[in-house]
A and B are shown apart, each in its own frame.
Chain A
Amino acid sequence: MTRFDPKLVRGDIPLMNRVINGRPITYLDSGASSLTPRSVIEAMDRYYQFHHANVHRGVYQTANEATAIYEGARESAAHFLNAPGGSEEIVFTKNATESFNLLARSWGAAFLQPGDVVLVSEMEHHANIVPWFQLRESHGVEVRFIPVTDDYRLDLSNIEESMHGVKLVSVTAMSNVLGTINPIRELANLAHSHGALLAVDGAQSVAHLATDLVALDADFMIFSAHKMLGPTGLGVFWTRQEIMAAMPPFLGGGGMIKDVSTDGFTPASGPSKFEAGTPPIAQAAGFAAAVRYLEGLGMENIAAHEKDLTGDALTRLALEFDGRVRVIGPPDTEARGGVISLDVQGVHPHDVAQVLDQFGVCVRPGHHCAKPLMKRFGLAATARASFGPYSLVSDTDALLEALTHAVEMFG
């Protein structure tokens, strides 16, 4: 497949027309939330203008249309992920964090015994840490951490010894701070050889690398729509049909039941069991359009484009700042994605981001909801720049120009 023209992609993003402090916006915060193509916005508009109805209940035409839109999004997700069991394996939640809570509160609470181990890594987002600590409090499970090496990779050197008692390995496919891409297939083999399951946090990877659930051999995959050109308010939880069938419901209410009487309830089967209440229908329409958009560009092409951008940015950051700007993450573009965390000597990340904002450059300062990782590297925060398919080398130009001012200002 031939590479796309990122300038055309940029033309599809209405927000790229914004002017910030007198300059065209330089959006380098796709790791926090990606920008939305017109086709995604229009898909949600169409739902509200022509098909707005609740799903799964009405018999009238627009209700059927709304149901088709919503269920169609499940099909889109299954195709996008190459889900082995199809759309019946896709649950829609509110966001990736809710998906992790679903995993912990439903599967974890039902199948983990006191003393069972959940193995996460030091580079996880809080969404893949806190629910396990909560389960530790309620169910007595142990939470164990895979350490991170000095060169920003998972330290798997003693992993066999760490597998005692492990029932679930839960690891990010791509670090939201370091950009590190983790060896998911290898971790799946490791987990399965010890009778454990593998959960993958795909929040940072799904919009930037091709995801093939058959090839990855994972057991759970979690991500959100808004980091993959889709709308906010929709998360995805994928698991195999046989695992899903055994999981008890998480949130209770309408839509997740087969039957309710004054004596009790029987839960629905399939994904509906986990989708209590009116689901995010407009968001599902937007999500499906985002999947179509990404598939139109080609995930391999997006990965190649962002790898070029990342390599260029890493080289220039090293050359132009004489060591004053340190990248917290692997230098090798084979091992990482387009998330670049910066530590600017003598300038706090909040001040870096504030100066950059004056130049219309949007980066994220802070701990990125990964405080254990920050502590591991002795940092309170970093300033993080991250790319998307609409990013251009000119974004890196603007970043470097603004960084130069930040360094000069704080001398």
Chain B
Amino acid sequence: MANLDDLYREIILDHYRSPRNRGELAPPAHRTEGFNPLCGDEIVIYVQIEDGVLTDIKLTGHGCSISQSSSSLMSTAVKGKPLEHVRATIATFKDLMMTRETKLGEEATDPSGEANLRRLGELAALAGVVKFPVRIKCATLAWNTLTQALDEVDA
């Protein structure tokens, strides 16, 4: 049985209660909106990119604890990082969600999963989300929106 504590780790509740990098950035920062039409969650991401580095990121919007904490954790993981690092982090996180979604029950012995967890650091707190399949979309909303933002600025 999936346990609620797997989902609502303390670090997730902390980021939900005190979201990091909340707010807006003025142009020329790029603004991208993301929606989860099923539950009504919305996110707006502002990214500032200079010389191949994501120098600043801000977020607004509303949603559940999973979508809000995921976006907050994401912002701390990518802020100030070179874009190739940002892209790699997005890929690793999404891989974690996908891997676990398709190989439920095998995760403890899945070596790529363990490697993912180590690389993700604090983000690994979200790993428990995959035990609650309907919540995966909550966790990935911010990441898909960030991908869209990077694609839009062709970075």
* Interface membership of B29, Cβ < 8 A: no
Q: Is the CB of B40 within 8 A of A354?
A: no
Q: Which of A347, A355, A374, A411 contacts B40 (CB 8 A)?
A: A374
Q: Which of B8, B16, B40 contacts A381 (CB 8 A)?
A: B40
| B-contact bits for A359-397, CB 8 A (1 contact / 0 none) | 000000111000100100000110000000000000000
Residues on A with C-beta less than 8 A from B4 are 354-355, 358, 409
Known: A354-B7, A355-B4. A381 touches B13 (CB 8 A): no
Known: A350-B135, A354-B135, A355-B4. A380 touches B42 (CB 8 A): yes
- Residue of B13, B17, B63, B64 contacting most chain A CB atoms (<10 Å): B64
- CA distance in complex: A348, B65 (Å): 7
* Interface membership of A351, Cβ < 8 A: yes
- CA distance in complex: A348, B4 (Å): 15
Q: Is the CB of A380 within 8 A of B62?
A: yes
Q: How many A-B residue pairs have CB under 8 A?
A: 49
- CA distance in complex: A371, B36 (Å): 13
- CA distance in complex: A334, B109 (Å): 58
Can you name the residue of chain A whose Cβ is closest to the Cβ of B61? Answer: A380
* Interface membership of A410, Cβ < 8 A: yes
Interface size range of chain A in the complex = 20 to 34
Residues on B with C-beta less than 8 A from A345 are none
Q: Which of B13, B17, B39 contacts A350 (CB 8 A)?
A: B39
Q: Which of B1, B66, B138 contacts A21 (CB 8 A)?
A: B1
Q: Is the CB of A350 within 8 A of B138?
A: yes
| A-contact bits for B54-98, CB 8 A (1 contact / 0 none) | 000000001111101000000000000000000000000000000
Can you name the residue of chain A whose Cβ is closest to the Cβ of B1? Answer: A21
- CA distance in complex: A354, B39 (Å): 13
Known: A365-B39, A366-B38, A374-B40. A350 touches B66 (CB 8 A): yes
Q: Is the CB of A380 within 8 A of B41?
A: yes
Residues on A with C-beta less than 8 A from B66 are 350-351
Q: Which of B12-38 contact A (CB under 8 A)?
A: 13, 16-17, 38
Q: Is the CB of B132 within 8 A of A371?
A: no
| B-contact bits for A394-410, CB 8 A (1 contact / 0 none) | 00000000000000011
Residues on A with C-beta less than 8 A from B62 are 380
Q: Is the CB of A409 within 8 A of B64?
A: no
Q: Is the CB of A380 within 8 A of B40?
A: yes
- CA distance in complex: A202, B65 (Å): 35
Residues on A with C-beta less than 8 A from B68 are 348
- Residue of B40, B62, B63 contacting most chain A CB atoms (<10 Å): B40
Residues on A with C-beta less than 8 A from B8 are 351, 409
Q: Is the CB of A371 within 8 A of B40?
A: yes
- CA distance in complex: A299, B38 (Å): 33
- CA distance in complex: A22, B4 (Å): 14
- CA distance in complex: A402, B5 (Å): 15
Can you name the residue of chain B whose Cβ is closest to the Cβ of A380? Answer: B40
Known: A21-B1, A350-B135, A358-B4. A410 touches B40 (CB 8 A): no
Shortest distance from the beta carbon of A15 to any chain B beta carbon, whole Å: 19
- CA distance in complex: A410, B39 (Å): 20
- CA distance in complex: A380, B42 (Å): 9
Q: Is the CB of B1 within 8 A of A351?
A: no
Residues on B with C-beta less than 8 A from A350 are 39, 63-66, 135, 138
Residues on B with C-beta less than 8 A from A371 are 40
- In the assembled complex, 25 residue pairs joining A and B whose CB atoms fall closer than 8 Å, in A order, are A21-B1, A347-B65, A348-B63, A348-B64, A349-B64, A350-B39, A350-B63, A350-B64, A350-B66, A351-B8, A351-B64, A351-B65, A351-B66, A354-B7, A354-B135, A355-B4, A366-B39, A367-B40, A380-B39, A381-B39, A381-B40, A409-B4, A410-B16, A410-B17, A411-B17
Q: A348-B65, A381-B40 are in contact. List 16 more A-B contacts (CB 8 A).
A: A348-B63, A348-B68, A350-B63, A350-B65, A350-B66, A350-B135, A351-B64, A351-B65, A358-B4, A366-B39, A367-B39, A380-B41, A380-B62, A381-B39, A409-B8, A410-B13
Measured CB to CB, the residues of A under 8 A from B are 21-22, 347-351, 354-355, 358, 365-367, 371, 374, 380-381, 409-411
